[in-house]
């Protein structure tokens, strides 16, 4: 019998990743291709969805070639994507403008006005999330005010994964896990609220029909097959939010289980069976039916290390071939030579404003405690620790809201660093386990297709067959006092500097 595979596609912030998985979750082949983020003005961060599609086509071809898999062996395709896009397409499915992405804060004034006119509490009561500029809602209304030509020609607003699903199948869709980006979405029922749509001025016609994440919405078209190398007729699932797919790929399917995200952005996702919102956090539907995710999302994640390496890693890159180690691997070693707490150097990782729990578009990155005794290693380690402090901040808020966390299941590129994982465990005081550091998100997307086509009997069955823990970390009690002192400084720094940060405005 010919072995069947599942294809997972991840539309991340910095790159598209694709991977072929066997039924047991083992990776047959994987590929990635980068694409740019554009920063045309302060506070703006946008991408071209057509460049996502080009990257998808290229990476799929490479995966099929390197995996030695015939296209007909792919039983289903699942897609995950970054949150809070606002991809305006016309009636022909053509992209009308670059989409602001989750880091974009240009629509702060729109949010301020709508929160006044409708009432922030009323909006929060419906969708379980405060209206902020990062979300899709504000971006649609920004189009209306600043790009009326785009707004008038808009047929549908798509999310990152639904855009790729459309390119593959020709079918318009909106999965339930990405609904949380729009504040006319009822978080209790999982449906659009027409009354709120009218109040906000968002045409209901802009919004595709909501479907379960594992629903097969269509099959690969002849044209998409030609562009990607896939077999025409291959089933495609609706897909879902990258953080939610990563949560599934980490094995989180039951209430109380928690995923820690260490991709370009950072964050955590706590699975719950009950509706539980907090204005400081993010609430959305899980890709697993009947579950919600109480989330914390920060701009400080693996992207902090990418920035540091890009701007200050010339030496490490120059000796990379000689040492047989990437610049980031060398960075990891340099940080490992510095003691916990970085000798008092504290970093605020607010490199594109900050999301939860402070929600401050004007927040800035800060190094505090520099002196002539500090080295590059100190700066690297303090960046790692700063990201971990942001994680702790979110976990502390979640626990105060009644969502305790027993263990963290870590995914994303930063999970490849044992040092960083130990730092996160020490700072949060939580045991931490790593299932698949690089493939959890694409695996989660693939599992949606696997459940959708009947390869697995349930989500519990899918997780049991595919998710294996590779490493575990326990918090070190000796480091607690050091980190707690720095964490207190971390919290105080923002409180002391937030008014000054407004003066540097990025809106």
CATH code of 482's domain: 3.30.420.40
Q: List 43's β-bridge partners, or say none.
A: none
Q: What is the pLDDT of residue 300?
A: 87
Q: Are residues 162 and 44 in the same domain?
A: yes
pLDDT band at 261 (very low <50, low <70, confident <90, very high): confident
Q: Are residues 170 and 35 in the same domain?
A: yes
- Encoded tokens for 321: 């071939």
Q: Are residues 327 and 193 in the same domain?
A: no
Determine how β-strand 408-411 pairs with β-strand 258-262: parallel
Residue 73 lies in a domain: yes
Q: Are residues 35 and 155 in the same domain?
A: yes
Q: Are residues 232 and 334 in the same domain?
A: no
pLDDT, one tens digit per residue, over 291-336 is 999 999 888 889 999 999 999 999 999 999 999 999 999 999 999 9
Taking 70 as the threshold, does the pLDDT of residue 405 lie above it?
Answer: yes
- Nearest Cα residue to 43 out of 499, 503, 362, 498: 362
Q: Are residues 213 and 103 in the same domain?
A: yes
Q: Are residues 229 and 345 in the same domain?
A: no
Taking 80 as the threshold, does the pLDDT of residue 506 lie above it?
Answer: no
- Given 204, 225, 241, the domain boundary residue is 241
pLDDT, one tens digit per residue, over 433-486 is 999 767 889 999 999 999 999 999 999 999 999 999 999 999 999 998 899 999
Residue 455 lies in a domain: no
Residue 149 lies in a domain: yes
The residue whose two tokens read 């976990």 is 395
Q: Does residue 278 contact residue 294 with C-beta atoms inside 8 Å?
A: yes
Q: Are residues 374 and 481 in the same domain?
A: yes
Q: Are residues 311 and 232 in the same domain?
A: no
> Measured between alpha carbons, how far is 183 from 193 in angstroms, rounded to an integer?
9
Residue 429 lies in a domain: no
Of all helices (H) and strands (E), which one includes residue 167? helix 160-169
Q: Are residues 202 and 333 in the same domain?
A: no
Residue 273 lies in a domain: no
Residue 427 lies in a domain: no
Taking 80 as the threshold, does the pLDDT of residue 504 lie above it?
Answer: no
Count how many domains the chain has.
Answer: 2
- Give the three-state DSSP class for 356: coil
346 HSE (CA, 13 A, CB side)? 18
H and E: helices and strands count for the chain: 18, 24
Quote the radius of gyration of the chain (alpha carbons, Å). 22
Q: Are residues 228 and 337 in the same domain?
A: no
Taking 80 as the threshold, does the pLDDT of residue 503 lie above it?
Answer: no
CA 374 to mean position of chain CA atoms: 33
What's the predicted TM-score (pTM) here? 0.86
Domain range for 494 is 302-404+476-502
Residue 225 lies in a domain: yes
Q: Are residues 315 and 178 in the same domain?
A: no
- Given 222, 241, 260, the domain boundary residue is 241
Q: Does residue 46 contact residue 38 with C-beta atoms inside 8 Å?
A: yes
- Given 189, 210, 241, the domain boundary residue is 241
Residue 387 lies in a domain: yes
pLDDT, one tens digit per residue, over 101-138 is 998 999 999 999 999 999 999 999 999 999 999 999 99
Q: Could you give phi then psi for residue 317, rounded to 5 degrees?
A: -70, -35
Q: What is the pLDDT of residue 507?
A: 39
Q: What is the pLDDT of residue 437?
A: 62
């Amino acid at each position: 019998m010919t072995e069947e595979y599942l294809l997972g596609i991840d539309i991340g912030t910095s790159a598209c990743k694709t991977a072929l998985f066997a039924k047991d979750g083992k990776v047959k082949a994987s590929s990635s291709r980068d694409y740019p983020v554009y920063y045309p003005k302060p506070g703006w961060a946008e991408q071209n969805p057509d460049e996502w599609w080009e990257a998808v086509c290229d990476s799929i071809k490479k995966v099929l070639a390197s995996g030695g898999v015939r296209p007909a062996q792919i039983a289903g395709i699942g897609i995950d994507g970054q949150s809070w896009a606002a991809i305006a397409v016309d009636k022909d499915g053509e992209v009308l403008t670059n989409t602001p992405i989750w880091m974009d804060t240009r629509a702060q004034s729109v949010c301020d006005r709508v929160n006044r006119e409708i009432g922030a509490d009323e909006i929060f009561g419906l969708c379980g999330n405060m209206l902020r500029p990062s979300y899709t809602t504000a971006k649609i209304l920004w189009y209306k005010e600043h790009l009326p030509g785009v707004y008038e020609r808009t047929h549908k607003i798509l999310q990152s994964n639904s855009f790729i699903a459309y390119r593959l199948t020709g079918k318009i869709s909106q999965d339930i896990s990405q609904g949380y980006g729009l504040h006319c979405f009822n978080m209790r029922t999982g449906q659009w609220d027409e009354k709120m749509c009218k109040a906000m001025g968002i045409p209901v016609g802009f919004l595709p029909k909501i479907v379960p994440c594992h629903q097969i919405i269509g099959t690969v078209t002849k044209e998409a097959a030609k562009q990607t190398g896939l077999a025409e007729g291959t089933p495609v699932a609706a897909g879902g939010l990258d953080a939610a797919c990563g949560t599934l790929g980490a094995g989180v399917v039951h209430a109380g289980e928690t995923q820690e995200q260490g991709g370009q952005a950072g964050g955590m996702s706590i699975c719950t069976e009950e509706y539980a919102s907090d204005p400081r956090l993010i609430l959305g539907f899980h890709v697993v039916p009947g579950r919600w995710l109480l989330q914390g999302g920060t701009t400080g994640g693996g992207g902090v290390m990418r920035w540091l390496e890009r701007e200050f890693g010339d030496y490490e890159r120059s000796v990379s071939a000689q040492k047989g180690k990437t610049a980031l691997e060398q960075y990891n070693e340099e940080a490992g030579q510095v003691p916990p707490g970085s000798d008092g150097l504290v970093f605020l990782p607010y490199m594109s404003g900050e999301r939860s729990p402070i929600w401050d578009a004007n927040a800035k990155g800060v190094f505090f405690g520099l002196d002539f005794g500090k080295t590059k290693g100190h700066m690297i380690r303090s960046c790692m620790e700063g990201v971990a402090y942001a994680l702790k901040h979110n976990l502390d808020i979640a626990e105060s809201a009644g969502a305790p966390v027993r263990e963290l299941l870590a995914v994303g590129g930063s999970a490849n660093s044992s040092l960083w994982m130990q730092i996160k465990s020490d700072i949060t005081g939580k045991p931490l386990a790593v299932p698949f550091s690089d493939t959890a998100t694409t695996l989660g997307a693939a599992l949606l297709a696997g459940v959708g086509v009947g390869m697995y009997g349930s989500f519990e069955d899918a997780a049991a067959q595919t998710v294996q823990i590779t490493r575990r970390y326990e918090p070190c009690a000796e480091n607690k006092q050091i980190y707690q002192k720095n964490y207190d400084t971390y919290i105080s720094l923002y409180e002391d500097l937030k008014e000054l940060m407004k003066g540097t405005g990025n809106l």
